[in-house]
Every structure is written in structure tokens, then in C-alpha cells.
Amino acid sequence: GAVVSQHPSWVICKSGTSVKIECRSLDFQATTMFWYRQFPKQSLMLMATSNEGSKATYEQGVEKDKFLINHASLTLSTLTVTSAHPEDSSFYICSARYSRGGYREQYFGPGTRLTVT
């Protein structure tokens, strides 16, 4: 199956700083990628849809100025958590939509653990 990677796999940062997380589709092009957040013992929550060459669309309640998304190429989307605070500590997961002919599937990255101290 198709592979999606994330970098870094984990990151610790100080409160008030910004952190960038990368999501790459390694062996396919993805015009659409998605970002999720998962708190301990909770399910994944969809944050936003990242569209190559256009602005991301955010789910209700997600602050677009805090979670900046850039989908600059067909294989890379980045999520920047700006002015991070301890409550932003979470597991961030991206996914990429694989589409070929009539076949569509969504593949998930391994996740990035963010800890804000």
C-alpha cells in the first residue's frame, strides 16, 4: 500500500514557541491531505483539510490562525502550531488521499507526538 510519513515523530517545545510538522506522501501524489488531533484515550478528531495550491478548510471550532496549514506540493503538507501552549500537547496525525482511476483510499501517517512544556 501507499506510504505516508510524518516528521518529526515526536517533539518537545517550550510554551510560546511554534512547531512545524511535516506530512509526506512517499510514493504517490496527494492533492488532498488531512490533519487530525488525538488526545490521550480519545478518538481522532479531524482538524482540517489541506488542499494543494489552495487554502485549507478547517473544521468547526479549530482556530485557523493557530494551526497553520500549507500544502505547497503534491507530496507535502505542513502543520504549524503557532504560539504553542501545554493544552496543545497531543498526537497529531495526517492522512493523504490516494486516487487512481475510480479507486480511492486514504492512508494515514504514523503520527507526531507534541509535548509543550
Contacting residues toward another protein, per CB under 8 A: 1, 4, 6, 32, 34, 36, 43-46, 49, 91, 93, 95, 97, 104-111, 113
Taking the least distance from each CB to another protein, the nearer of 82 and 89 is: 89
Cβ at position 117, least distance to another protein in Å: 19
Spell out the long-range contacts of 40-47 with Cβ–Cβ below 8 A and sequence spacing 24 or more.
44/93, 47/79
Cα–Cα nearest to 35, from 109, 117, 85: 109
Task: State the nearest-atom distance from the C-beta of 16 to another protein, in Å.
Answer: 26
* Cβ-based neighbours of 77, under 8 Å, separated by 6 or more: 22, 23, 30, 33, 35, 50, 69, 70, 71, 94, 96
Q: Which is nearer to another protein, 74 or 82 (CB)?
A: 74
What is the nearest approach in angstroms of another protein to the Cβ of residue 110?
Answer: 5
